[in-house]
Amino acid sequence: MSSAPPPVRKVRGRSLGKIVGVGDFDGVRLHVVTGKGGTGKTTVAAALALALAARGRRALLLEVEGRQGIAQLFDSPPLPYEERKVAVAPAGGDVYALAVDPESALLEYLEMFAKIRHNGVAARSLRRLGAVDFATTIAPGMRDVLLTGKAMEATNRRDRGRHLYDAVVMDAPPTGRITRFLNVNTEVAGLAKMGPIRSQADRVMRLIGSPQTAVHIVTLLEEMPVQETVDGVAELEAAGLQVGSVIVNMVRDPLLPAADIAAVARGEVDSDAIRAGLKSADLDVPVELVDVLIAESVDHARRVELESQEREELIELGRPTYELPLLADEIDLGSLYNLAELLCEQGVG
């Protein structure tokens, strides 16, 4: 772990959508983080856990896709099936992490609900027969019930009458699969009209469909991730699930003066003036190079314009929207604190 977190980079003053004061998610205990592949969903989930653990609270970060992405982020060895403290949050709080693997979750489920000891004869012969494999990778819906069931258990767990975790953050499957993943009830309904799986699915659904659960969608200011976000919000709502916020990741600073963006995007740049400007800063460069530099700025301006169109679309969703900057270097623990701090400033936790 690195020592003191680096100084916080101020987020630009572009507030988006409705940003409600401090603690936008008071009352929410299970935070589900989804997003299209490549949007930095795991990083954002980790930053969110740090933000929600700030000031003496305790958060649990759950991983369900077996990638050990959390261990990599926190620079720790692969996580076992055991809640481990991975970081201390800003102003003294604790972040625990757990990689939920379906097999362990199944054995735990058996122990809790079928009174089958995880190291007993029955569990062993089930494993030998491939039943565990079957139930966790092949039996449809079962796997999701086990994974969401574990999140529910952690969310509801109490210690001396109080919730053990103030918040549980789940690094969930991507947007394209999230509704199906969370909507375990519908998933198993065709299979099990009654019985233990059905009861477990019902219990999970009571939490996931309640105001205690919010789904946050991570996106970039690019066409496909924004489209998936818009579709995802519609799907989640249709399934009766609560959409929490939209988190725009890897936002880049516009480097050109706002007033010049439109003209530059159209390629209207006075190259003689630019060259003269460069010269007065002691950069005497050939015309071709000035043209390359201008072409780069035209590219940049076009991207800024596209990004503001995408931003408009996100605003129309009417959700609390947060922005996180693109970091120049690779994500490390220091930058996670940085991102967590930015989330706090924008009203999370």
Instruction: Name residues contacting another protein, limited to 300-339 (CB under 8 A).
Output: 300, 302-303, 306, 328-331
- Looking at beta carbons only, is 4 or 258 nearer to another protein? 258
8 A C-beta contact, residue 74 and residue 110: no
Q: Which of 8, 11, 16, 131 binds another protein (CB under 8 A)?
A: 131
Pick 97 or 107: Cβ nearer another protein: 107
Applying CB under 8 A, among 180, 212, 239, 345 the residue interacting with another protein is 180
Please, which of residues 1-30 interact with another protein by CB under 8 A? none
Q: How far is the CB of 208 from another protein (least distance, A)?
A: 17
Q: What is the smallest separation between the CB atom of 108 and another protein, expressed in angstroms?
A: 12
Tell which one of 134, 206, 268, 308 touches another protein (CB under 8 A): 134
User: Looking up tokens 């101020």, which residue turns up?
Assistant: 10
Site stretch for another protein (CB under 8 A), options 23-31, 85-93, 184-192, 312-320: 184-192
State yes or no: residue 234 binds another protein (CB under 8 A): no
Footprint of another protein on residues 193-232 (CB under 8 A)? 193-198, 222-225, 227
Please give the residues from 267 up to 286 whose contact with another protein meets the rule CB under 8 A: 269, 273-274, 276-278, 280-286
**Residue 50 beta carbon to another protein: minimum distance, rounded to whole angstroms:** 19
Determine the size of the site formed for another protein (CB under 8 A): 81
**Of the candidate residues 110, 170, 336, 340, the single one contacting another protein (CB under 8 A):** 110
Least distance (Å) from another protein to the CB of residue 315?
20
**Neighbouring C-alpha atoms within 13 Å toward the C-beta of 240:** 10
User: What track of x and - describes contact with another protein for positions 135 through 174 (by CB under 8 A)?
Assistant: x-xxxxxxx-----------------------------xx
Cα Rg of the chain (Å, integer): 24
Q: Structure tokens of 36?
A: 């299209």
Least distance (Å) from another protein to the CB of residue 29?
26
Cβ closer to another protein: 2 or 199?
Answer: 199
Instruction: Tell me, letter by letter, the H, E, C secondary structure of the chain.
Output: CCCCCCCCCCCCCCCEECCCCCCCCCCCCEEEEEECCCCCHHHHHHHHHHHHHCCCCEEEEEECCCCCHHHHHCCCCCCCCCCEEEEEECCCEEEEEEECCHHHHHHHHHHHHHCCCCCCHHHHHHHHCCHHHHHHHHCCCHHHHHHHHHHHHHHHCEECCEECCCEEEEECCCHHHHHHHHCHHHHHHCCCCCCHHHHHHHHHHHHHCCCCEEEEEEECCCHHHHHHHHHHHHHHHHCCCCEEEEEEEEECCCCCCHHHHHHHHCCCCCHHHHHHHHHHCCCCCCHHHHHHHHHHHHHHHHHHHHHHHHHHHHHHCCCEEEEEECCCCCCCHHHHHHHHHHHHHCCCC
Residue from 289, 308, 312, 316 binding another protein (CB under 8 A): 289
Q: Which of 82, 237, 260, 312 binds another protein (CB under 8 A)?
A: 260
Name which position in 6, 23, 56, 66 contacts another protein (CB under 8 A): 66
